[in-house]
Structure 1
Amino acid sequence: MTTVGTRTLTGPPPEPEPEQAPVTDPGAAPAPVPEVRDWPPAELDGTDFDPLLAALMREGPLTRIRLPHGEGWAWLATRHADVRLITNDPRFSRQEVTRRQVTRMAPHFAPRPGSLAWADQPEHNRLRGPVAGAFTVGAMKRLRPRAQAVLDELVAGVLADGPRADLVARVLEPFPSAVVSEVMGVPAGDRELVHAWTRQIISTAGGSEAAATAKAGLYGWVTATVRARAHSADDDVYALLGRAVLRGEITEEEAVGLAGPLQIGGEAVTHNCGQMFYLMLTRPELMDRVRARPGERGPVLDELLRWIPHRSSVGLARIAREDVEIAGRRIAAGEPVYVSYLAANRDPAVFPDPDRIEPGRDPNPHLAFGNGPHHCTGAVLARLQLELLVDTLLERMPALRLAVPAEQVRWRHQTMIRGPRTLPVTW
Structure 2
Amino acid sequence: MTEETTTLTSQAPQPPVRDWPPIDLTGTDFDPVLAELMREGPLNRIRLPHGEGWAWLATRYDDVKMITNDPRFGRAEVTTRQVTRMAPHFKPRPGSLAFADQPDHNRLRQPVAGAFTVGAMKRLRPRAKALLDSLVDGVVAHGPPADLIERVLEPFPLAVVSEVMGVPEENREQVHSWTRQIISTSGGAEAADRAKNGMYAWITDTIRARADSDGTDVYSLLGTAVARGDITEPEAVGLAGPLQIGGEAVTHNCGQMLYLMLTRPDLLERLRGQPECREGALDELLRYIPHRSSVGLARIALEDVELHGQRISAGDPVYVSYLAANRDPDVFPDPDRIDVDRDPNPHLALGNGPHYCTGAVLARLQTELLVDTLLDRLPGLQLAVPAEEIVWRRKTMIRGPQTLPVTW
Question: How would you bin the TM-score normalised by the shorter chain?
Answer: over 0.9
Which amino acid in structure 2 is aligned with residue 374 of structure 1?
H
**Separation (CA, whole Å) in 1 of partners of 2:220 and 2:207:** 7
Distance in structure 2 (CA, Å) of the matches to 1:65 and 1:266: 29
Structure 2 residue aligned with 1:337, among 318, 338, 344?
A: 318
| Alpha-carbon distance in structure 2 between the residues aligned to 1:123 and 1:61 | 31
How far residue 329 of structure 1 moved from its aligned partner, in angstroms, is 1.1
1:206 aligns with 2:187: yes
Q: Residue type of the partner of 2:248? A: E
1:30 CA displacement = 4.5
Contact 2:27/2:401 (<8 A) preserved: yes
Aligned to 1:338, the other structure's residue is in SS state strand
What CA distance in whole angstroms lies between the structure 2 residues aligned with 1:60 and 1:31?
Answer: 14
Q: Shift in Å at residue 399 of structure 1?
A: 1.1
1:328 CA drift (Å): 1.9
Deviations 1:21-79 (A, max 9, x none): xxxxxxxx944211111111110010000000000000100001011110000000000
Between the two proteins, the alignment pairs up a number of residues equal to: 399
The answer to whether 1:80 aligns with 2:77 is no
1:379 corresponding residue in structure 2: 360
Residue 132 in structure 1 maps to residue 113 in structure 2: yes
The separation in 2 between residues aligned to 1:185 and 1:272, in whole angstroms, is: 23
Counterpart for residue 51 of structure 1: 32
Amino acid at match of 2:65: R
Match of 2:247 in 1: 266
C-alpha deviation, 1:327, in angstroms: 1.9
Q: Please, which of 5, 8, 16 is the counterpart of residue 35 of structure 1?
A: 16
Following TM superposition, by how much is the alpha carbon of 1:323 offset from its aligned partner in structure 2, in angstroms? 0.2
Question: Whole-Å Cα distance in 2 between the matches of residues 328 and 219 of structure 1?
Answer: 44
Distance 2:19 2:193 in 1: 25
1:281-328 Cα offsets, whole Å, 9 max, x none, are 000011011111101211110000000000000000000000001122
**Residue 144 of structure 1 corresponds to which residue in structure 2?**
125
Query: For 1:240-319, what aligned pairs fall within 5 Å after superposition?
Result: 240-319=221-300
Q: Match of 1:398, SS? A: coil
Map of 1:94-133 to 2, 5 A cutoff? 94-133=75-114
Contact 1:230 1:245 in 2 (8 A): yes
Q: Identify the match of residue 415 of structure 1 among 396, 401, 404.
A: 396
Of 182, 205, 209 in structure 2, the residue corresponding to residue 228 of structure 1 is 209
- The answer for the alignment partner of 1:179 in structure 2 is 160
State how far apart, in whole Å, the 1-side matches of 2:11 and 2:88 are: 36
Per-residue CA deviation, residues 185-212 of structure 1 (Å, 9 max, x unaligned), is 0000000000000000000000011111
Counterpart residue type for residue 53 of structure 1: L
- For residue 325 of structure 1, give the secondary structure of its aligned residue in structure 2: strand
CA drift at 1:398: 1.8
Structure 1: which amino acid aligns with 2:218?
A: V
| Range with bigger deviation, 198-207 or 326-335 | 326-335
- 8 Å Cα contact 1:82-1:327 kept in structure 2: no
Question: What SS does the corresponding residue of 1:63 show, helix, strand or coil?
Answer: strand
Whole-angstrom distance in 2 between the partners of 1:289 and 1:41: 36
Residue by residue over 1:349-393, the C-alpha shift from the partner in whole angstroms, topping out at 9 and shown as x without a partner, is 100000000000001110000000000000000000000001111
Match of 1:66 in 2: 47
Indicate conservation of the 8 Å contact 1:62/1:327, yes or no.
yes
Once the two structures are superposed, the pairs formed by residues 356-395 of structure 1 within 5 Å of their partners are 356-395=337-376
Paired residues of 2:277 and 2:340 also in contact (CA < 8 A): no
Task: Report the secondary structure of 1:113's partner residue.
Answer: coil
Does the residue aligned with 2:22 lie in a helix, a strand or coil? coil
Are the aligned partners of 2:149 and 2:251 in contact in 1 as well (CA < 8 Å)? yes
Between the aligned partners of 2:268 and 2:376, the Cα distance in structure 1 is 13
Mapped to 2, the partners of 1:366 and 1:376 lie a distance apart of 13
In structure 1, runs of 5+ residues without a counterpart are: 1-28
The residue number in structure 2 matching 1:425 is 406
Query: Any unmatched runs of 5+ in structure 2?
Result: 1-9
Q: Distance in 1 between matches of 2:102 and 2:264?
A: 43
Q: Alignment partner of 1:349: what SS?
A: coil
Matched letter for residue 53 of structure 2 = G
Percent of matched pairs sharing the same residue: 77
* Cα-Cα RMSD: 0.8
CA offset digits 1:169-200 (Å, max 9, x no partner): 00001000110000000000000000000000
3-state SS, counterpart of residue 196 of structure 1: helix
Which deviates more from structure 2 when the two are superposed, residues 30-39 or residues 358-367? 30-39
3-state SS in 2 of match to 1:330: strand
Tell me how far apart the structure 2 counterparts of residues 30 and 350 of structure 1 sit (CA, whole Å).
30
Q: Which of 144, 155, 170 in structure 2 is aligned with 1:163?
A: 144
Separation (CA, whole Å) in 2 of partners of 1:257 and 1:51: 34
